[in-house]
Amino acid sequence: MKDKLVSTAKNIYELPREGKMKVPGRIYSSEALLSHPGMSSAIEQVANVAELPGIVDASMAMPDIHWGYGFPIGGVAAFRSDSTKGEIGVVSPGGVGFDINCGVRLLRTNLLEEDIRGKQKEIIDELYKQVPAGLGSKGKIALSDRELDSVLSVGATWAEENGYLWKKDLEVLEENGCIDDALPEHVSEYARKRGRKQVGSLGSGNHFLEVQKVEEIFDEEAAKAFGLFEGQAVIMTHTGSRGCGHQVCQDHLDCVLSASKREGIDLPDKQLASAPLYTKEAQEYLGAMSAAANFAWTNRSLISHATRNAFSNIFGGDGESLGMDTVYDVSHNIAKMEVHLGEELCVHRKGATRAFGPDSPDIPQKYRDFGQPVIVPGDMGTASYVLSGTSGAMANTFGSTCHGAGRAMGRKAALKKYGSTDLIKDLWEKEGIYVKARSPRVASEEAPGAYKDISEVVDVCHATGIANKVARLKPLGVVKG
């Protein structure tokens, strides 16, 4: 499939429209990134997505693209909601993924790297104590049915109203931490049961809680607006909707697939099960997905609360005196109704981050001169980045950019190649990065060598104008599930 790609500009490749494709594919990448094993399968998924009804402009992939369920991870696709504009579009659970609203939140501090060095083990051990991590981990609180309904309905607002979040945090969360169109009544009892005890927990896999230093600033003015400076200590949380979101996806797949068959959609892959936006199945899935997204924003909010408490216990004072403001919170597994190209579209971002540009009314006033902060997590041994959204992203990718490094190696292969004990020891002794993992196996699966070069991924986004580099962050200590 790679041999069909045509270079249209530096780091931009087109997959020409052929067969049943309704639009071309467009991939932001580089020769080195495209050379990773498995790329042909991921590019084939880009072509498959291009066959779905009502797709607008192109089936897109960001430079961290790799194979996923239905859609490639790193995929972006937008679908028409107005039949007067052309063929009506669809919503596809495969275009969101099982970890609904997996996302990243970044907290700044007034602390410096030298305040952290020498206390890394103490800090990470305290965070590990405060934030439950690992497969099946449970949060510190169990929600009542009424509380869970509120979480699913109003998201991070519930956390703020119950003392787990500052009011000023809400304005720097994507969608202010809540999608208003959530329909909790379409979240099953089993999904509720799975989520009830997991709010405020990290989970496993590639999720982490990481203490970092701001290693380099690329855009001084944007960094200043974001509250970042060189040598500063910051904390990044990467997690999603836990069992609640996973079950919501699982529960709605069969219904959406039935709608695909009833509506006569010729699917190239049944993992691309899609329901036209006007159908009951589409609206019920979108409502339940939005509720799970609200759960994820609440989950990250409770982790922020626990993080502030942990730092307070180590350094004294409180979160306010330590300057622990939220820089931003971004989602990267979600489908939302947004206005682009003059019409309302259902934009799917699966392993892709919203990157709204300067002057967008959907981002906080204080960031509008620079564009939305985009937080791109790396692996536990290299770097993460803060970017800003651009007008280029708004014009070309429905306001989207990359979400991370992207896997270069499957988990089984990584587990076989990297011994967990040596890996954790080497990160500490050679890199000065203290890792505490509930499961050493997960540490091996998430080894730095299992991922693509995040710097190259980010450089592609910067060079093609779909994001602007602001700062590079280096890990000092990591909590892994």
- What's 399's domain CATH number? 3.90.1860.10
Indicate the helix (H) or strand (E) that contains 74.
Answer: strand 73-80
Smallest CA-to-CA distance from 239 within 283, 200, 197 is with: 200
Other C-beta atoms lying within 10 Å of the C-beta of residue 15: 24
Q: Which domain holds residue 383?
A: 2-480
Q: Which two tokens stand for residue 423?
A: 């890996």
Name 238's Cβ contacts closer than 8 Å, sequence gap at least 6.
102, 103, 104, 206, 207, 208, 209, 210, 377
Residue 477 identity (one-letter amino acid)? G
Cα 73 from Cα 95, distance rounded (Å): 9
Based on the residue annotation, tell me whether 252 is a catalytic residue of this protein. no
Q: Which residues pair with 281 in a beta bridge?
A: none
Residue 269 identity (one-letter amino acid)? D
* 38 and 376 Cβ atoms separated by less than 8 Å: no
Spell out, as residue ranges, where the chain has pLDDT lower than 50: none
CA distances from 88 to 52, 78, 94, 194, 279 (A): 10, 11, 18, 34, 11
Number of domains the chain is built from: 1
Sheet holding 12-15, edge to edge: 6-9, 12-15, 25-28, 59-66, 73-80, 343-350, 333-340
What are φ and ψ of residue 43, in 5° steps? -65, -35
Indicate the helix (H) or strand (E) that contains 216.
Answer: strand 208-217
Q: What is the pLDDT of residue 309?
A: 96
Q: What is the pLDDT of residue 380?
A: 80
Smallest CA-to-CA distance from 131 within 200, 219, 179 is with: 200
DSSP string, 292-310: HHHHHHHHHHHHHHHHHHH
Rounded to whole angstroms, the maximal C-alpha distance in the chain is 64
pTM of the model: 0.95
Smallest CA-to-CA distance from 233 within 134, 117, 101 is with: 117
Express each pLDDT in 307-358 by its tens digit. 999 999 999 999 999 999 999 999 999 999 999 999 999 999 999 999 999 9
Q: What is the pLDDT of residue 232?
A: 98
Q: Which residues pair with 431 in a beta bridge?
A: none
Express each pLDDT in 18-37 by its tens digit. 999 999 999 999 999 999 88
3-state secondary structure (DSSP) of residue 77: strand
Burial of 1 per CB tally in 10 Å (0-12, 13-18, 19+): middle
Q: What is the pLDDT of residue 449?
A: 77
Of 66, 246, 403, 462, catalytic: 403
Indicate the helix (H) or strand (E) that contains 245.
Answer: helix 242-262
Cα 375–chain centre separation:
9
